[in-house]
Structure 1
Amino acid sequence: MRTDAGKGVLMRRTVLLGVSILGIVALTGSAASASGVIDFSTRTSAVCAEFTDAVGLYEGNSVTMLGVVVGTVERIESSGDSVVVTMDVDDSVRLPADVGAVTLSSSIVTDRHVEFTEPYREGPELDRTNCIPLDRTRTPLGISDTLDAVTELASDLLGPADATGAREDILGDTLRSVDGSLRGSGAQLNAALKQLAELVGEPADRDTTVRRLIDNLDGLIDTFAVSWPDVAKLLDNLKAGMITLSEFTQAFGGAVLLTVDFIPPLVRTIAKYDDKVYALADQLIPVVDVALGRIGDIKDILEQVPTVSDNLTTMYDSDLQSGRLIYHPPRFEIDTNSPNEICALLNTYSPTCSANQQRGDVIDVGLVQLILGSAGWR
Structure 2
Amino acid sequence: MKRLLTTPGFVTVVGALTLAVLAVAGYLIVVAPAKTTIGYCAQLPDAIGLYPGNQVTSLGIPVGTVTAIRPEGTGVRVEFAIDADHPLHGQPTATTVSDTLVADRSLAVFGEPGAPLWDRGRCLTKTFTPKSISQTLDSFAKVAAQLNGGDTPAQQHRIRDGVNAFRAATAGTGPQLNTLITDLATALRQPDAAIGNIGRLIDAFAAIASSISANWDDIARVVLRANDGIGFINELWGRVVQIADSLLVLLPWLNRLANTYGRPLLGALDGAVPGLRLLAANVGSLQQIITMIPPIANAFAQTTDPATGWPRLTYAPPRVTLPQLQPDQICAVLDTITPGQCRTAGDGLSVAELAPLILGTVGAR
TM-score, normalized by the shorter chain, greater than 0.5 = no
TM-score tier (shorter): 0.3 to 0.5
Rg larger in structure: 2
TM-score, with normalisation over the residues of structure 1?
A: 0.41
